[in-house]
Each structure stands twice: as structure tokens, then as C-alpha cells.
Amino acid sequence: MAQGVTITYWQYEFRSKVEAINELIRRFEAQNPGIKVVHQTFPYDAFQQKVAAAIPAGQGPDVVNLYYGWAPTWVKAGYLVPLPDDWMRRLDQDFVAMAQAAKVGGKLYGVPTAVRSLALFYNKDLFRQAGIAGPPKTWEEFIAVGQKLTVKQGGRFTQIGYGIAPDGQDHHLVREVLVRQFGGKPYSDDGKRVLYQGEAGLKALSFYTDWVRKHEIGIPGFFPGNNGYRDGFIAGRIAMIIDGSFAIGTIQQGARFNWGVAELPLERPGGRKANFGSFWMHGLTPLATGPKREAALRFLAFITSEETQRYWLEKVGELPASKNLIRDPKLSLHPIYGPFVLSLAYAKATPFVDEAAQRKVMVDAINRVLLQGMDPAQSLRLAAEEEQKILDQFWR
Amino acid sequence: MRLTLAWREALWAFVFLAIPLAFFLYFRILPAFQALWLSLYEWHADPSQRRFVGLEHYARLLEDPVLRRALFNTLLYTLLGIPSQIALGLVIALLLQRVPFGRDFFRAIYFAPYVTPAVAVAWVWSWMLSPHFGLVNELLALLGIPPQPFLQSPSQALPTVTWVVVWQNLGFQVVLFLAGLESIPRQYYEAARIDGAEGWRLFRHITWPLLNPVLVFSVVIGTIGYLQLFTQVVNLNFTDQGGPLNSTLTLALYIYQLAFLRFQLGYAATVTVLLFALILLITLVQLKLLTRRVEL
């Protein structure tokens, strides 16, 4: 290895992740005496802004951590370079299926250490008090439980059964979970066409918005603030939420009651399973040239190795991205990780090309129905048109 | 050549002024022109790969419904916010002026929101305005008014955000008006009283015209602030910024989203050019219309 190469790694600030990377860098540098890794972090809100400005100025990271959904916009604007071909083989062989979303236009732009999926968190104490035996297995049961656990006084709710959050995880729930469970597909296989405007999509959006409009098992914005649905659950005022595995740590720290996790309910017993998977990945920027590129690839291999993934699970609590590791029964039978791990087998990552804009399309589709009383069919049609434009714009 | 003392002083002044001026040119004026240039290109991290697109982005401005909404909202914020802020600020300043003791105490209370971080302000207000737990709806209930959704309603969110901004800016406005009121010589009032003027007439013919410079300053600076509104909007609906349904989106927030969440820096630069032109135009019109030369 060349002497004295220094590479820079960037991620956003999240304590356990920052500590984990610091430790991993220490181990990596011990194994690779010629390479020094500089670790820089930024607040989440400022992260993309820093990247946007720093890389054109030649001052940014060589290896960068990014949400998989950002990759296409970053690639198009020249912020990421493709990984060598042997990495593509490694990804196909060793990583869970959703990691395929790290490819853009047939080239691979990043590799994850960990992945996430969605599951149902439920308040066991509230369930027991209401005489409910266990988590709902179907949406029908889910609605019945939700109604039982919703308390309304006058016009105001004091407790709700389900933490409705269109701008939390629910836009994923509608798009990736309900549409598929109802027999549809949100997008064409190449990700270039919106398909959710069909029958299954309409059923999904109508069904979801009925939780508020018809069944009254929840209300958006019950708790204000970012991730109010999660805060409300932690405060014991919301009986059930659908959230990602990334929420486990926060809930573990905050909740002062017995809670459990279950796989997402199904349309009917034995019905089709679906889940939304997502991940943060490590990519290579155009600044990693010459000896830095070699060093950066070596670091990338190190922080995505199975050994690191095991350490990451222990330290950060995020699920490993390797097919091998998630087969471990210790993990799939774990009372909290288990439901998430089981979902990884069938979870799909939405093929975003412009994540911020596409997220908004679905959030708005839901809000037009919930807040303006628009007919779900009309709202969905508007959303599909808008999103198709975004896809066409990207792929033209 | 020998310079006169006056010339030498002037020269020194220029030397000292040159440093902030250079700073201003390099960090403010130059980037403004760069934005103009950037707006003609499709953004790429590598400058050599930026594709020239001419006026394509300007054409997109004309057919972008989200931009139209952001522009409309931005103007509405200004139209709602400025008069409220000026009127409330003036009323409170006039009242405070009559308070015989503890004026500094009240002044500090009114000023406190202005120096409170916007994130904290947003957090507290979003709880106070909650339809289910909030104090505001609690008070409305006492009056027999049903709970209002406020920030969660596409029709109420913008006026609600405006209110929070007005509340936050009010302290600054009050301090400005108090300073303006103090600077009006007492003799004018005494002379007018001898002539038999009282109350409203004193205000109409002395206070109001002599406050004109403060008023012009407040309107111009306040308007620029509203046209650049960003922080409060972002923090009052953090997970759906500018929502619900774009009802609170501002031009500045839209620029941020385009540039840093969608990496469309070329088009974002185009919107900044629009915002720049808008601010320039409105400021010039205001200065022309509002400035009065006052002679008593």
C-alpha cells in the first residue's frame, strides 16, 4: 500500500453511528498502517447541503454515507462514481435483495452496512388492559383493536389506536406495503412507470385513509413535532405505530411500559406479505482518485464486511445487510429484531429517482384525502401524473 | 505632492472601508452574479460537465405550479405579516411609553421572543396550537369554539405561521418604535397642547409624521425578512416542510429544497434570481411611496 494516504469519510451526526465509525477507523488503521481516515460529521439537516457545496470545491469526502434514495440525484449531478465490477458480484451474491436499489442505470454506486424494514410496534400494557390477547395479524383485526384503544372526548382525542403519520412511515406503507398486499405493484419492474393508479393502488389509498375518515382509529398530527407519532407512542397515548427498525433505540430508551413488535398485518390470513426496505450506503465520490481511490475502496470493503455488520448490530442496533447474517436464528427469533429480520426476506426498496419529490407526491396524495376530503381516486390520479413526470424527467 | 489634511483623512477612511467593501464584494455581490450565471446551466459537481441550457430554467419558472404557489404564499405572508407587525408594534410602543415604571422590564419581555431560537419557538407553538392538547384550543373551547386544526389545515396553516413570525418579530418592532417615539422632541407636543390639540390630533399630526423614518425602515427591513422567510416555516412542520399540501411553502424554502434535497442547483439559482428581482423591485417601490419629507 502506498505510503501516507489520507482519505475522508462523511456521515451525518448520530451518536452511536459516530462512535461506531470511530472505533472501526481505529481497527482499520491498525490493519492498514499506510492509510489514515479522517471522519467528519454534520447535523442531519445540513448534511446534503454540505455535500452539495463541498465536492465541487474539491474539499469533500472520498467515501460518503447517503440514503439509498438520494443516489440517483447524486449520480446525475456527478457526486458519486461507480464501484468496480467485482463489487457488483459481491452485492448480488452476499447482500439482501433490497440492496439492488444501490444500482443506478445498471451500475453500482454504494454498499450498505445495515438495512431497515418496517414493523408494528404495540403497547402491551394498553392491549392487556383492553383484554386484547396479542398483536393483530390482519388489517381487520388491526382496525378492531384500533377502535377499542381510541378514546375521544368531545371533539378531541386523548388516546388513539394507531399513530397515523402520512409524512412518517405511512407513505411507504401505502406505496410499498398496501399496494402489494392488495395484489398490485407500485412501479414497473424497471422503475420507470408508475403503476399504483390501478385498482390495487386505489384500494390501498382508500383503505388507509378510511382508518381516519371511517374507522377513526387515529388522527394525523395527534402529537405535534417531528416524528410525533413515535413520541405519542413513547408517551403511552398511541397504542400502535408502524415504524422502522431505526426507531428501536429511541423507543427502548423512552418507553416506560411493556411493548412489543410484530410483523405487519396482512390483508387476510395467509395473504401476500410486503414490506418497505431501506438503507444508508457508503459511496465513492469523484474526489477519490489515484492512491486515494484504492485506499477508499479498501475502507469501503472493511466497513461493509460481515465482521463490521456484526459489530454494527451490537453497537448501533441496525440489522445486517448480509444474507448470511440475517439467516441466523438468534436474530430471526429475537423478540424485537425478529419481526424486522423476517420482513427483510420480502422487503422491497422503492426505486426512487428524486426521493424528496417522490416522497412528497405520496404524502400529498394522502393529505388531499385526509385534509381536503378529496376523492381518493382523483387524488391518486393526480399523484400518479405528478410522479410520472418526475420519473420521465429523470430518465429522459 | 502634498495632500491636505482633509484629503488624507478621506484617504484613510477609504483604506478602512476597502476591507469590508472587498469582503462584501467577494462574499455577497460576486455570488449573486454567479447565481445568474449558474441559472443558465444544468448543475454538475464537475464544472467542466455543466451543460449550458440557456433560458430553459426560466421557461420552467413559467410553468412550475409549485413555484407559483411559493410565490403566492411568500407575498401573502408579507401582506399579512407586515401590517400586523407594524400595527401591533406601534400600539404596544405607545402603551409602553405611558407606563410610568418598569418600562425596561416590559421591553425585555416583548423582546425575549426575538432572541429565542426559532426551533424552540416552533416547538412550543406547535404544542400550544395542537388540536388535541393545545392551550389555544383550550381557550377557544371556553368561548364555545370547536377545536381548530391550525398548522395541520391547508387553509389555516399560513396565517398561523404568520402569527408565530409576527409574535417573534414584535419585540424588535416595539423597540424600534420606542426609540422613534423618544426622539420626537417634547416641545412639539407642548406647543400643540397650548394650541388646544389633544389625543388623536397629537398622534395624527405629530407622532405619525415624525415616526415616518422608523416606519419606512421597519416596512423595508420587515418586508425583506418576510420575502426570505424560511426558518419558522421549516420548523413548524418539520417532516412535511412547506406543507400541508404546499400551503406554507415559501420561495426561500423552495430554493433550499431544489438545491440541497434535489441537487437541481441550476434551477434553484434561477429561482434565487427571481427572488432577488422581487426584493429589489418591492424595496424600491416602498422607498419611493413611503418616504415623506416632514416639515412641521
Per-residue pLDDT of chain B (296 residues; tens, 9 = 90+): 677 888 988 999 989 999 889 998 998 889 888 999 999 999 999 999 999 999 999 999 999 999 999 999 999 999 999 999 999 999 999 999 888 888 888 888 999 999 999 899 999 999 999 999 999 999 999 999 998 999 999 999 999 999 999 999 999 999 999 999 999 999 999 999 999 888 889 999 999 999 999 999 999 999 999 999 999 999 999 999 998 999 999 999 999 999 999 999 999 999 999 999 999 999 999 989 888 776 65
Residue A106: which of A317, A313, A351, A308 has the closest Cα? A351
Which residues are paired to A151 by β-bridges?
A: A159
Q: Are A242 and A142 in the same domain? A: yes
Is the confidence at residue A165, as pLDDT, over 80?
yes
Q: Per the domain annotation, does B44 fall within a domain?
A: no
Q: Per the domain annotation, does A91 fall within a domain?
A: yes
Q: Are A270 and A359 in the same domain? A: yes
Q: Are A363 and A233 in the same domain? A: yes
Considering CB atoms only, which of B153, B238, B259 is closest to A226? B238
Those of residues 198-257 in A touching chain B at CB distance below 8 A are 219-227
pLDDT at B211: 93
Q: Are A29 and A91 in the same domain? A: yes
Which residue range forms the structural domain that includes residue B72? 65-290
What does the pLDDT average to over A53-59? 94
The answer to whether the pTM exceeds 0.90 is yes
Those of residues 110-149 in A touching chain B at CB distance below 8 A are none
**Contacts with B255 from chain A: Cβ below 8 Å:** none
- Tens of pLDDT along A218-264? 999 999 988 999 999 999 999 999 999 999 999 999 999 999 999 99
Q: Are A241 and A176 in the same domain? A: yes
Nearest chain B residue to A364 by CA distance is B245
Q: Per the domain annotation, does B206 fall within a domain?
A: yes
Considering CB atoms only, which of A56, A156, A221 is closest to B152? A221
Q: Cβ neighbours of residue A85 under 8 Å, at least 6 residues apart?
A: none
Nearest chain B residue to A49 by CA distance is B260
Residue A30: which of A289, A302, A301, A281 has the closest Cα? A302
Any A CB within 8 A of B243 CB:
yes
Mean per-residue pLDDT of chain A: 96
Q: Are A53 and A28 in the same domain? A: yes
Q: Per the domain annotation, does A123 fall within a domain?
A: no
- Tens of pLDDT along A76-117? 999 999 999 999 999 999 999 999 999 999 999 999 999 999
Q: Cβ neighbours of residue A77 under 8 Å, at least 6 residues apart?
A: B43, B44, B45, B263, B265
pLDDT at B3: 74
Q: Per the domain annotation, does A372 fall within a domain?
A: yes
Say if CB A295 and CB A1 are below 8 A apart: yes
Q: Per the domain annotation, does A124 fall within a domain?
A: no
Task: Let me know how long chain A is.
Answer: 396
| Residue tagged 385513509 (cell numbers) | A209
Q: Per the domain annotation, does B58 fall within a domain?
A: no
Decide if B245 and A368 are in contact by the 8 Å CB cutoff.
yes
Is the confidence at residue A175, as pLDDT, over 80?
yes
Distance CA B46, CA B221 (A): 38
Is the confidence at residue A359, as pLDDT, over 70?
yes
Which of A59, A352, A367, A379 best probes binding to B when mutated, by most B CB atoms within 10 angstroms? A367
Residue B125: which of B266, B41, B205, B231 has the closest Cα? B231
According to DSSP, the β-strands at A111-116 and A319-320 are antiparallel
C-alpha dihedral, A141 to A142 to A147 to A148, nearest 10° = 70
Any A CB within 8 A of B148 CB:
no
Domain of A79, CATH number, reads 3.40.190.10
What is the residue-wise DSSP string for B21-42?
A: HHHHIIIIIHHHHHHHHHTTEE
- Tens of pLDDT along B151-172? 999 999 999 999 999 999 999 9
Work out the number of other CB atoms within 10 angstroms of the CB of residue A216. Answer: 17
Which of B44, B231, B239, B245 best probes binding to A when mutated, by most A CB atoms within 10 angstroms? B239
Q: Per the domain annotation, does B221 fall within a domain?
A: yes
Q: Per the domain annotation, does A236 fall within a domain?
A: yes
Considering CB atoms only, which of B129, B154, B263 is closest to A77? B263
**Contacts with B262 from chain A: Cβ below 8 Å:** 73, 354, 356-357
Per the structure, the count of domains in chain B is 1
Q: Are A154 and A188 in the same domain? A: yes
* Helix, strand, coil in percent for chain B, rounding step 5: 75, 0, 25
pLDDT at A3: 67
Which residue range forms the structural domain that includes residue A93? 5-116+277-348
pLDDT at B1: 60
Decide if B265 and A52 are in contact by the 8 Å CB cutoff.
yes
Instruction: Supply the ipTM of this predicted assembly.
Output: 0.94
Domain of B181, CATH number, reads 1.10.3720.10
Nearest chain B residue to A67 by CA distance is B261
Q: Are A329 and A371 in the same domain? A: no
Per the structure, the count of domains in chain A is 2
Is the confidence at residue A27, as pLDDT, over 80?
yes
Any A CB within 8 A of B213 CB:
no
Percent of chain A past pLDDT 90, that is, above it, reads 96
The burial of B58, by beta-carbon neighbours within 10 Å (0-12 exposed, 13-18 middle, 19 or more buried), is given as: middle
**Contacts with A354 from chain B: Cβ below 8 Å:** 262
Which helix H or strand E contains A342, and what residues bound it? Answer: helix A337-344
Decide if B260 and A52 are in contact by the 8 Å CB cutoff.
yes
Nearest chain B residue to A353 by CA distance is B262
Is the confidence at residue A287, as pLDDT, over 70?
yes
Q: Per the domain annotation, does A334 fall within a domain?
A: yes
pLDDT at B5: 86
Is the confidence at residue A2, as pLDDT, over 70?
no
Distance CA A73, CA B261 (A): 9
Those of residues 15-34 in B touching chain A at CB distance below 8 A are none
Distance CA A133, CA A151 (A): 20
Nearest chain A residue to B153 by CA distance is A371
* Helix, strand, coil in percent for chain A, rounding step 5: 50, 20, 30
Decide if B260 and A158 are in contact by the 8 Å CB cutoff.
no
Q: Are A341 and A362 in the same domain? A: no
**Contacts with B137 from chain A: Cβ below 8 Å:** 156
Q: Are A251 and A301 in the same domain? A: no
Q: Are A104 and A146 in the same domain? A: no
A378 Cα to chain B: minimum distance (Å)? 15
Decide if B147 and A155 are in contact by the 8 Å CB cutoff.
yes
Q: Per the domain annotation, does A309 fall within a domain?
A: yes
Decide if A76 and B130 are in contact by the 8 Å CB cutoff.
no
Decide if B130 and A223 are in contact by the 8 Å CB cutoff.
yes
Q: Are A371 and A251 in the same domain? A: yes
The amino acid sitting at B258 is: L
- Tens of pLDDT along B83-128? 999 999 999 999 998 888 888 888 889 999 999 998 999 999 999 9
Q: Per the domain annotation, does B216 fall within a domain?
A: yes
Is the confidence at residue A1, as pLDDT, over 60?
no
Tell me how far CA of residue B285 lies from CA of A214, A275, B220, B223, B279, in angstroms: 52, 56, 10, 12, 10
What does the pLDDT average to over A295-300? 97
**Contacts with A166 from chain B: Cβ below 8 Å:** 240
Distance CA A316, CA A308 (A): 11
Q: Per the domain annotation, does A386 fall within a domain?
A: yes
What is the residue-wise DSSP string for A241-252?
A: EEEEGGGHHHHH
Is the confidence at residue A367, as pLDDT, over 70?
yes
The dihedrals phi and psi of B27, each to the nearest 5 degrees, come to -95, -15
